[in-house]
Structures are given as C-alpha cells and as structure tokens.
Amino acid sequence: MSNNSLTRDGGCTCGQVRYQIASEPLIVHGCHCRGCQKNSGSAFAINALFEADRVELISGKVEEITVPTPSGTGQDIIRCAKCKVAVWSHYNMGGLRKHIRFIRVGTLDDPDQMPPDVHIFTCSKQPWVILPEDDRRVEVFYEFKETWSPESMERLAKVEESAGIKIS
C-alpha cells in the first residue's frame, strides 16, 4: 500500500501485529449492543468499516475466533496471536462477512481521527452513557441510504457487486 494522506496505521498492544488502511472508512459505528459490550468489556465498541482489500496486515501473526452473536450468525474476531488483542472483526452483514473489515478504532495509532458517525443499538446503551445531542443514533440499526454518504454507498455497491450480494 502506498503511503498517502488517507493511509492509517494500527496494531496490537505488544506491537507484533501491524496493519495499514488505505482509505477513509465507509462509516464508523459506535455499537451499544450487548454483544459488543461483552466482547469489548466496555460500554460500547467503536468500529470503522473498510473494504477488506483496503486493510493490509503488515506484520505479525493473527488468529481468528468465532464468538456467538444475538443474531446467531457469529462474529469472527481477528486477534494478535501473541497478546490476543482484537484488531478487527468480520460480521455477517448480509453475507459480506469476509468482504468488510470492522477495524477496532482503539487499535489505530491515532484513534482520535475516527469518532463514530452513528451510534447503533442504543436500545441497549448503558444508561450512564450520555451521547451528545447532535450525534446520530438509532435504536437498533439504520437504513444504509439514509446514513451512509453517497461516496460510501458507491464503494459498498462495488463490494456487493464483486461478492454477488445486495444488502443496501
């Protein structure tokens, strides 16, 4: 991947796993579902969504585990094989499981660059989490065309076409 202004780097805690992203995210979710609360050990998870081919593992070994989700489809969590920090996940997302990577924003070298664009599953948000009034939020999940930017919708359409799946 080239080192352009859209390139971002990240990795695990021990430094063995390093990855690079070569674009802006499709969207950034602040997910308040109970699954994300359990898997992150926190009040919510922040995931930046990218096409899989825009995320490159630069160094280190990763392992993949599948954990249960309320939907029953499971979530694949990709972790550093040494320190076990989760660096990204794959969700079913209408059949695009291996085509979209949900980067754990906290693993970016500069996570401040990717605040949530939308808060999802706020129906199970911890009551003490106060979201700013101007933040976009939905009780469960959103309509893609109402939430994603036109540019991100174009990119998603290309992923759908290459996968032979239509979710948006």
Number of domains the chain contains: 1
Q: What is the pLDDT of residue 1?
A: 45
User: Has residue 39 been placed in a domain?
Assistant: yes
Mean of all residue pLDDT scores within the chain? 93
User: Has residue 118 been placed in a domain?
Assistant: yes
User: Has residue 168 been placed in a domain?
Assistant: no
Q: What is the pLDDT of residue 73?
A: 84
Q: What is the pLDDT of residue 4?
A: 56
Q: Domain residues for 97?
A: 7-163
User: Has residue 120 been placed in a domain?
Assistant: yes
User: Has residue 135 been placed in a domain?
Assistant: yes
User: Has residue 46 been placed in a domain?
Assistant: yes
pLDDT tens-digit map of 57-110: 999 999 999 998 877 888 999 999 999 999 999 988 778 889 999 999 999 999
159 band by pLDDT with thresholds 50, 70 and 90? very high
2 band by pLDDT with thresholds 50, 70 and 90? very low
User: Has residue 1 been placed in a domain?
Assistant: no
Q: Which long-range contacts (CB under 8 A, 24 or more apart) does 67-70 make?
A: 67/35, 67/39, 68/35, 69/35, 70/33, 70/34, 70/35
- Whether the CB-CB separation of 69 and 90 falls below 8 Å is answered with no
pLDDT at 116 over 70: yes
Task: Please indicate whether residue 32 or residue 167 has the higher confidence score (pLDDT).
Answer: 32
- CATH code for the domain of 91: 3.90.1590.10
pLDDT tens-digit map of 29-72: 999 999 899 988 999 999 999 999 999 999 999 999 999 887 78
User: Has residue 87 been placed in a domain?
Assistant: yes
Rg (CA), the chain: 15
pTM of the model as a whole: 0.93
In the chain, the amino acid numbered 103 is: I
